[in-house]
Structure 1
Amino acid sequence: MPARTGAEYIAGIRERSAEVYISGERVKDVTAHPAFAGGLHTVASLLDMQHDPALRDDMTYTSPTTGDPVGLSFIMPRNADDLKRRRKMITNWAKGSCGMMGRTPDFLNVAVMSMAAGADFCARNRPEFGQNILNYYEFIRENDIVMTHTLVNLQRSRSVGNTPFDDRTDVALSVVDENQDGIVVRGARVLATLGPLSDEIAVYPARTRRVPVGEEGKYAFGFAIPCNMDGLKFQCRDTFDTGRSHFDHPASSRFEEMDAIVFFDDVLVPWERVFLYNDVALCNQWGERTNRNAHTGHQVVTKNVVKALLAASEAQASTDEWGIFCPDYRPLLVARKQMITMYPRMAEILHLLGSSSLMALPAEADLSGPLADEIERYMDTDTATAEERIRLFRLAWDVSCSAFGGRQTLYERYFGGDSARNAALLYQIYDRDPARKLVQEFLSWE
């Protein structure tokens, strides 16, 4: 099959209906549900660009196996021209979504392509795994498959020390059985962006440093399966597409790509869809190291800057002409100017602390919905129930990620005045004479 049209994509999602839940209800038809309408039709419009006569040559290339035109994001670049062609194609799709959708299909097309190009890496695990990833790459390329992916296990603790996965919690996705047909996996993963709107899901090895001794291999795997596999369930967060007009909500009404928690209830993964298994060393090479100390160190320094400015304003306070003991305005103006960047940084810190858990949040109705048992079992932590966890993270989400949080960030940027204006004001009121004198004295040295 050559590159698909938008209509063919929508028909495929409808025919291969996945088990999707939102707001406490199972979605009978994702393609007809208002929560997914904007994102669905935007993805469809991107695929239609492959058939636009004015863009076709920039969006597709000739399949090396069938001779049909296939999506250019699947190309294995062999030279600089290939990279330029792919960049142009990706740019066209980015313009088509105004850069607002982080998981347009080209993201995983390029990812699977690179894994297939390194098929020998998978073959180090087992020879057949190398062929599996090559076959899968050809399958998604020739059928223009739209994919989602997940690579993070739900966390039970944000403590400083790494908490080992304990299989008794039955939370971290792991292999619970294997047979002649494949491996059987159970557990939960986040964050499947575009999940309800995808044909297939790729499951990457999770980044783990400590797992139960002697059972490391059961947590080490990489595979891909259809989104409608038996036992695979998608729990969506609230939708940002509220059914309002493009005029009222120009971005959310078009670019809602949806995020979901994925529950795996004894899902059978056929051997031909397994790319890595039971080799921790190989799986761990897929990730990158974090810089936790750098993040926390920067946070501490930032907070101390504010405290120092406050202390300076009080130490340099004086009685004004009205007889009021007034703090020095200059340090406070510096602090005000700093807050223009610090408040967005605070939101960023919440993002870093909460990570994907901020997006993988069921609604209140889900706590009494069809997946209530799964939510309670998988989403509790070492110190909180599932409901307490969700309540806390929804607060963090509302402060830093929601429309309300966005308004707060904008407010902090401007409530104290325009940043450029404040900088000019600080320059005007700052006593520059001591600095000038110091420079002049230095220049007079023999």
Structure 2
Amino acid sequence: MMIRDAKQYIESLRDGREVYMYGERVEDVTTHPSLRKAIDHGALDYELQKKSELRDLLIIRSPTTGAQIRRYFQIPRDSEDLLKRQELIETTTRHSGAVIPFMKEIGTDALNALAVITYLVDKKYGTNYYERVQKYREYLAENDLTIAGAVTDAKGDRSLRPHEQHMPYYYLKVVDRNTEGVVVKGCKLHTTSAPIANEVIVLPTRAMTEKDKDYCIAFGIPVNTPGIKIISRAEPANLGSFDHPLSSRHVTLEAMTIFENVFVPEERIFLDGEWEFAGPLANLFATWHRFTGICYKYPFAELMIGAAALVSDCNGILHATHIREKITELIIYAVCIKTFGQEAARQCVISENGIAFPNPLLCNVGKYLFANNYHMAMKLLQEIAGGLVVTAPTEADCKNPATKEFIERYLGGRKGVDATTRMKVMKLIRDIGASGFAGEWYVGTLHGEGSIQAQRISIFRDFDVQKCVTYVKDLLGIP
């Protein structure tokens, strides 16, 4: 039992895992420049505990063992627990360059969803999944492990169910069972932090039918389990901090995680063939994960507000009416995000076994709001900053004796703002709004935590439309 530090986390990744990047197998993820950048960002999750003012937020006492554990592994019982989780994710993100570390967030979203659904499965079938989930939670907490979530399948033909696909492994499938466990084959996509996590927890991605029961599987195993092969997305290394103030240091990695006849021991299986629970599990995970999305998007919105105000000040127009109007729109955007998170926690739902989870309708509306309006918010920042965001000289030009004088002469701002200060702000806005890193955020904001259409479907399902119809009928005297 221990709370690990960054060095111990990094050392734990030297475990023989099978990771590929840029067409080559990575023998040691801790020494690969692109992966190391993501590792160092993730390690901030372990560095923050050194800040005395944050330790009580980050670390709690286990209610079962009394040992110190990360708050991420807490089983939420009421609104206060959920509000603390919101504060935890916001604070961690804010101290990590407004880029969430994603070391424990998605994995514990999955654990919390499983804790509710497995109780219901056990009640119906007499299984012991809930006990397994709780033992796994305790194992993760006691060893302070990082955990990735693998949920999204390859899917193939989106109009067909898993069992109808022409390629039988477009969805992760159980291909063998014995008294000791199961063997699975297939892959999961978009698995954030999988190349640099200790464990991976797997959930079904959609509702299923009885014919899909071999695809209805949930489990948690080490990332270095034989047969797991991880292909990381591209990530440029050695970016300069002047030209890339965020993306040179603060990135998360997504990957294609392949399960090539991977054995999962019985005690690590949390759902196996109980197909009618696949949909509820996927939906509840989505609720948790959208709550996480709301929590980490607020610090990023704060970053946008700060950048907008600072660049306006550098340009001498902070007090211009049209600038203040645009910044006000960004403030409204940010406050709405935070408020939906708070209200989702305050108006939480308590499960049959006493676990609190965020209000699904409010989580979906909050996630829809920040995703559907993200491009608009970034447009406001781009409009405020101006074209120099993408046309500014590089750091090398700013240092070159042949060009430095001209840059300092012509690219300063209002009186008291030199060219270097102004360029730093412009480079930040370029990094978050007009770079490859920014493009990933554009797409990730739309599709991370589920696509906008997924939110529309959930919102329509969870809102009582018929109540409104009855209200109108009563108003008009229609029987």
TM bucket (normalised to shorter chain) is: 0.5 to 0.7
Aligned mate of 2:213, from 193, 213, 217? 217
* SS of corresponding position for 1:98: coil
Closer/same/farther in 2, CA of residues 107 and 401 from structure 1, 3 Å limit: farther
Closer/same/farther in 2, CA of residues 74 and 7 from structure 1, 3 Å limit: same
Closer/same/farther in 2, CA of residues 154 and 77 from structure 1, 3 Å limit: closer
Mapped to 1, the partners of 2:130 and 2:189 lie a distance apart of 26
Mapped to 1, the partners of 2:119 and 2:207 lie a distance apart of 24
Q: Contact (CA 8 Å) 1:46, 1:96: kept in 2 or not?
A: no
Q: Contact (CA 8 Å) 2:57, 2:88: kept in 1 or not?
A: yes
| Bigger shift: residues 223-232 or 33-42 | 33-42
* SS of corresponding position for 2:94: helix
Closer/same/farther in 2, CA of residues 143 and 152 from structure 1, 3 Å limit: same
Closer/same/farther in 2, CA of residues 43 and 161 from structure 1, 3 Å limit: closer
What does residue range 25-424 of structure 1 map to in structure 2 within 5 Å?
A: 25-101=24-100, 103-116=102-115, 119-123=118-122, 124-157=124-157, 165-166=164-165, 168-207=167-206, 215-239=211-235, 241-288=236-283, 344=375, 403=436, 406=439
1:231-252 deviations in Å (ceiling 9; x for gaps): 110011211x421122221222
The alpha-carbon deviation at position 215 of structure 1 amounts to 4.1
* SS of corresponding position for 1:185: strand
Matched residue type, 1:38: K
Identity of aligned residues (%): 29
Q: Where does residue 363 of structure 1 map in the other structure?
A: none
Query: How many residues get paired?
Result: 298
* SS of corresponding position for 2:135: helix
**Structure 1: stretches of 5+ with no match in the other structure:** 290-340, 348-399, 410-446
Q: Where does residue 18 of structure 2 map in the other structure?
A: 19
The RMSD of aligned alpha carbons is 3.1
TM-score under structure 1 length normalisation: 0.60
Matched residue type, 1:147: I
Q: Contact (CA 8 Å) 1:188, 1:262: kept in 2 or not?
A: yes
Mapped to 2, the partners of 1:343 and 1:198 lie a distance apart of 29
Closer/same/farther in 2, CA of residues 402 and 152 from structure 1, 3 Å limit: farther
Q: Where does residue 4 of structure 1 map in the other structure?
A: 4
Mapped to 1, the partners of 2:257 and 2:434 lie a distance apart of 21
* SS of corresponding position for 1:70: strand
* SS of corresponding position for 1:253: coil
Mapped to 2, the partners of 1:223 and 1:90 lie a distance apart of 25
The alpha-carbon deviation at position 73 of structure 1 amounts to 1.9
The alpha-carbon deviation at position 258 of structure 1 amounts to 1.1
Q: Contact (CA 8 Å) 1:122, 1:275: kept in 2 or not?
A: no
Q: Contact (CA 8 Å) 1:3, 1:143: kept in 2 or not?
A: yes
The alpha-carbon deviation at position 195 of structure 1 amounts to 0.5
Q: Contact (CA 8 Å) 2:208, 2:275: kept in 1 or not?
A: no
1:373-404 deviations in Å (ceiling 9; x for gaps): xxxxxxxxxxxxxxxxxxxxxxxxxxx99729
Mapped to 2, the partners of 1:117 and 1:162 lie a distance apart of 25
* SS of corresponding position for 2:43: helix
Matched residue type, 2:215: Y
Closer/same/farther in 2, CA of residues 53 and 156 from structure 1, 3 Å limit: same
Closer/same/farther in 2, CA of residues 179 and 50 from structure 1, 3 Å limit: same
Q: Contact (CA 8 Å) 1:76, 1:117: kept in 2 or not?
A: no
The alpha-carbon deviation at position 83 of structure 1 amounts to 3.4
Structure exhibiting the larger radius of gyration computed from Cα positions? 1
